[in-house]
Amino acid sequence: MKANKRSLSEKITSKNLTLKPQDNIRLAKLCGTLDENLRQIESYMQVEISNRGNNFIIKGTEESVPKTSELIERLYSMAEDEELTAKQLHLLMSDKSNDEKITDLDSDKLSIKCKKSTIKPSSKSQEKFIDAVLNNDLVFGVGAAGTGKTFLAVAMAAYYLEQGIIKKIFLARPAIEAGEKLGFLPGDLAEKVNPYLQPVYDALNELVGSQYVTKLVEKNIIEIVPLAYMRGRTLNDAFIILDEAQNTTIAQMKMFLTRIGFRSKTVVTGDVSQVDLPKDTKSGLIDCLEFVDKIKGVKISNFDSSDVVRHRIVRDIINAYDKRKK
C-alpha cells in the first residue's frame, strides 16, 4: 500500500502485530472489500499497513503506530459480532485528542444495539450525549456538522423502538431551502420532503436496514415530516427528533417543544454556526439555548470539531473557520 507523505524530521518506527485468535471471517470484515478498510485507516492515521493473514506490520510515527495498533485490535474484536461500516471506522478513528485513548472510553456500557449494527461512542462528548438521552426527557445536541449527533440520535430512537420503550419515531426538520412552502413542489408529501430528510433516512437504513425502514414508514411507525406539519399535534409514546434546529425561528421552536407528549423522549440537534435564516431573524435554537438548561429534565450536550467523524480535512476546515471568528 502507498505510504503517506511525511516530514523528514519525523522519526519513523514500525510494529509487528498478530491478531488472535486467528479467524478468517473476522479478518475479512476488518480488512474490507479489496482492503478498503485498511486503506481508510492508512489515510486517516497516516501510517502504512501491510499484512499476511493475521500478521500485520504498521509503519509510521512513534505517535501514530501504537494508536493504529490499538485501533486495529479494537476493530478485530468488534468484527466477531458485527459488520464494520465506514461510519463505525470514522467514529473509532476520530482522535478526539491526542491524550484521550480509545480504550479510555466506557463505550461498551453505552453501546447502542440496533437491528443491523451496534454503535459505540468514540469520544467523551458522544458518551455524554448518549448518557444525557438516557437520563433526560429533552436533550439538545449542539455542534458542527459531522460530529455524529444526528446519527446517534437516530440510533437511540431505533434502539428505543426495538426495546418497546416507545411506539413511534417522529423525525422533523425545517425545510428552510424551500421556505417550508412545499405546496409549490411537485409530488406527494413524501416526495417533497425526502430531499431535505435524506441524511435521516441514510442513518436509519444503515442502522436497521432499508426494507425494515420502508415497512415501518408504511405502517406510520416512523414518521418523517417537515417541521411545519407538526402544528396542532401532540406526540405521546414517541421518540422525537428535530434535526437542523438552528434553522427554526423562535416561534417554530416553541411550537415544536410544546408538541412533546407523555412518555416521550425528545432530541434536538443543530449547529449554531450554520444558520440559514434571514439576517434579521434570530434562530430558535440559539434563543432556546439561552434559558432551557434551567428546566428540570433538560440537558444540553455540546460537541466540538475534535468530535468530527468525517474526513480529517473537515475537522481542520471547521477549526480554521473558528479561528477566523476569534
What are the sequence ranges of the domains in the chain? 12-84, 112-325
The grid coordinates listed for 198 are 435524506
Cα separation, 197 vs 199, in Å, equals: 6
Q: Is 239 exposed, middle or buried (0-12, 13-18, 19+ CB in 10 A)?
A: buried
> How high is the pLDDT of residue 204?
83
pLDDT of residue 106: 47
Give the CATH class of 112-325. Answer: alpha beta
Query: In this predicted structure, what is the pLDDT of residue 192?
Result: 57
- Find the helix packing angle between 64-78 and 86-93, rounded to 10°: 140
pLDDT at 209: 83
Cα angle, residue 249 at apex, residues 147 and 320 outer, rounded to 5°: 35
The pLDDT, as a whole number, for residue 127 is 87
Is the Cα dihedral 44, 47, 49, 121 positive or negative?
A: negative
pTM: 0.65
How many Cβ atoms are within 10 Å of 275's Cβ, its own excluded?
20
Q: Which of 273, 228, 223 is nearest to 248 (CA)?
A: 228
In whole angstroms, give the CA distance from residue 132 to residue 55: 41
Q: What is the mean pLDDT of each run of 10 residues along the chain (326 residues)?
A: 49 90 91 88 87 93 89 88 72 50 48 73 84 93 85 90 90 65 48 65 82 89 83 89 93 93 94 89 95 92 74 70 70
Inter-helix orientation angle 36-45/24-31, to 10°: 50
Question: Which cell is 91 given?
Answer: 467514529
List the CATH code of the domain at 12-84.
Answer: 3.30.1370.10
User: Coil, strand, or helix at residue 52?
Assistant: strand
For residue 112, give the nearest of 129, 89, 137 by alpha carbon.
Answer: 129
What is the structure's pLDDT at 118? 74
In DSSP terms, which residues pair with 138 in a beta bridge?
Answer: 266, 298
3-state secondary structure of 189: helix
User: What 3-state class would DSSP assign to 194?
Assistant: helix
